[in-house]
Amino acid sequence: MTSDGVEASWSAPDSDPPAHRCGFELLPEDLDLGERYDDLDEWRGLWDTASCCREVWEDGRCRWHADAEPEVLREAVAERDERVQNLDGVVLRDVELDDGVSFAGCRLRGATFENVTAREADFADCDLSFAQFRDAYLSFAQFPDADLYEAQFPDADLYEAQFPNADLSFAQFPNADLQDAQFPNADLQDAQFPDADLQDAQFPTAYLSFAQFPDADLQDAQFPTAYLPGAQFPDAYLPGAQFPDADLRRAQFPDADLRRAQFPDANLSSAKFRDANLTRTQFRDANLTRTQFHGTDVRFSKFTNVELSKVKFIESKLLEKKIH
């Protein structure tokens, strides 16, 4: 037995925790959901919460919930036996964990990983909804089948991170480093990537409806067969990006740089390219019904096997536009 106490470290939320036990319970206000859940019994039923029975470390909380010093947190993580655990609401701050540390299968809802270093960390099948990863260093981390609903990654380093089949709906990645990250079959509905570095990132068959990429660097990013209706790319940097067979209906690219981008077989009906740079871009076999190119530079672009009768070119630069 570790200083965390009994391995079955959670009890029914409506019972008093044993003496000298933590007693932390994840509550709506911990996730800024107080206005949505004003009935605590309803909250407990829907979220299946429990009270932490680990031994108190300081300030009435265990090591995991006390916002403890880095060396204390490192010890707590090292003493885990990697069995699936309930770690809702844990606070890890300013700690460097061993490469390849595993939290696979754990429940980490509302957890804080602020300025944490965890290279090659394993978060497979974790529930990380509403988790916070501010300034976290998570290069090569693995998130297969993880629930990251409304998770936040401001200024995080996620170089070559993997998110296969992950739920990232409404997640936020402001100014995050996501170079070479991979999101195969991930759900990224309404996800936000402001100022993120997504060079060479891959989104095969990802669900990205209404996702937002303002000022993001998407050079050479790939979106094969991705679902992107209503996605927003204002001022995004997309040279060489590829969207083969992608669904981009009603997507918008205001002031975006799309030089040499490719849209083979893409559905761009009702998409809008306002003041965008589309020089040498390719639209082979693309659906451009009601697509608008307003103030757009499409010089040297190729529209092979494209029906252009319903396309609107308004105040656009068309010199050397190639139609076959």
Please indicate, yes or no, whether residues 292 and 260 belong to a single structural domain of this protein.
yes
Q: Are 192 and 215 in contact (CB under 8 A)?
A: no
Mean pLDDT throughout 1-6? Answer: 37
pLDDT tens sequence across 115-125:
999 999 999 99
Residue 190 lies in a domain: no
Please indicate, yes or no, whether residues 73 and 56 belong to a single structural domain of this protein.
no
Please indicate, yes or no, whether residues 94 and 160 belong to a single structural domain of this protein.
yes
Q: Are 285 and 264 in contact (CB under 8 A)?
A: yes
190 HSE (CA, 13 A, CB side): 6
Residue 147 lies in a domain: yes
Please indicate, yes or no, whether residues 203 and 306 belong to a single structural domain of this protein.
yes
CATH number at residue 95: 2.160.20
User: Which H or E run includes 46?
Assistant: helix 40-47
For residue 169, is pLDDT > 80? yes
Q: If we measure between CA atoms, which residue out of 282, 284, 208 comes closest to residue 247?
A: 208
Please indicate, yes or no, whether residues 82 and 203 belong to a single structural domain of this protein.
no
Least confident of 35-49, 85-99, 151-165: 35-49
Please indicate, yes or no, whether residues 217 and 318 belong to a single structural domain of this protein.
yes
pLDDT tens sequence across 296-306:
999 999 999 99
User: Which H or E run includes 72?
Assistant: helix 70-78
Q: Quick one: tokens of 57?
A: 């470390």
Length in residues, the chain: 324
Please indicate, yes or no, whether residues 305 and 268 belong to a single structural domain of this protein.
yes
The residue with greater pLDDT, 54 or 315, is 54
CATH number at residue 269: 2.160.20.80
What pLDDT is stored for residue 15 in this prediction?
59
Strand-strand pairing, 312-314 and 292-294: parallel
Residue 273 lies in a domain: yes
Q: Model confidence at 13, in pLDDT bands (50, 70, 90)?
A: low
**Phi and psi torsions of 107, nearest 5°:** -100, 115
Residue 187 lies in a domain: no
Q: Which of 35-49, 53-67, 191-205 has the highest mean pLDDT?
A: 191-205
Our count of domains for the chain comes to: 3
Q: Quick one: tokens of 53?
A: 């029975």
Domain boundary among 9, 38, 64: 64
Average pLDDT, the chain: 91
Q: Quick one: tokens of 262?
A: 């490719």
Positive or negative: CA dihedral 192, 211, 265, 215 = negative
Residue 153 lies in a domain: yes
Q: Model confidence at 155, in pLDDT bands (50, 70, 90)?
A: very high
Q: Is 215 left (phi over 0), alpha (psi -120 to 50) or beta?
A: left
Least confident of 133-142, 266-275, 286-295, 309-318: 309-318
Residue 275 lies in a domain: yes
What pLDDT is stored for residue 9 in this prediction?
60
- Taking CA atoms, 117 is separated from 54, 93, 273, 279, 312, in Å, by 25, 9, 40, 41, 50
Three-state DSSP at 112 gives strand
Please indicate, yes or no, whether residues 42 and 81 belong to a single structural domain of this protein.
no
Q: Are 123 and 104 in contact (CB under 8 A)?
A: yes
Residue 274 lies in a domain: yes
Residue 189 lies in a domain: no
Positive or negative: CA dihedral 249, 255, 257, 260 = positive
Please indicate, yes or no, whether residues 57 and 90 belong to a single structural domain of this protein.
no
What pLDDT is stored for residue 97 in this prediction?
96
For residue 310, is pLDDT > 50? yes
Percent of the chain with pLDDT over 90: 78
Please indicate, yes or no, whether residues 304 and 211 belong to a single structural domain of this protein.
yes
pLDDT tens sequence across 70-116:
999 999 999 887 776 899 999 999 999 999 999 999 999 999 999 99
pLDDT tens sequence across 218-231:
999 999 999 999 99
Please indicate, yes or no, whether residues 18 and 97 belong to a single structural domain of this protein.
no
Q: Quick one: tokens of 275?
A: 């003041």
For residue 270, is pLDDT > 60? yes
Q: Which domain holds residue 114?
A: 67-182
The residue with greater pLDDT, 12 or 246, is 246
Domain boundary among 64, 99, 116: 64
What pLDDT is stored for residue 68 in this prediction?
94
What pLDDT is stored for residue 2 in this prediction?
39
Domain boundary among 182, 217, 245: 182
The amino acid occupying position 182 is Q
For residue 18, is pLDDT > 70? no
Question: What is the rounded distance in angstroms from the CA atom of residue 141 to the CA atom of residue 18?
Answer: 37
Please indicate, yes or no, whether residues 296 and 268 belong to a single structural domain of this protein.
yes
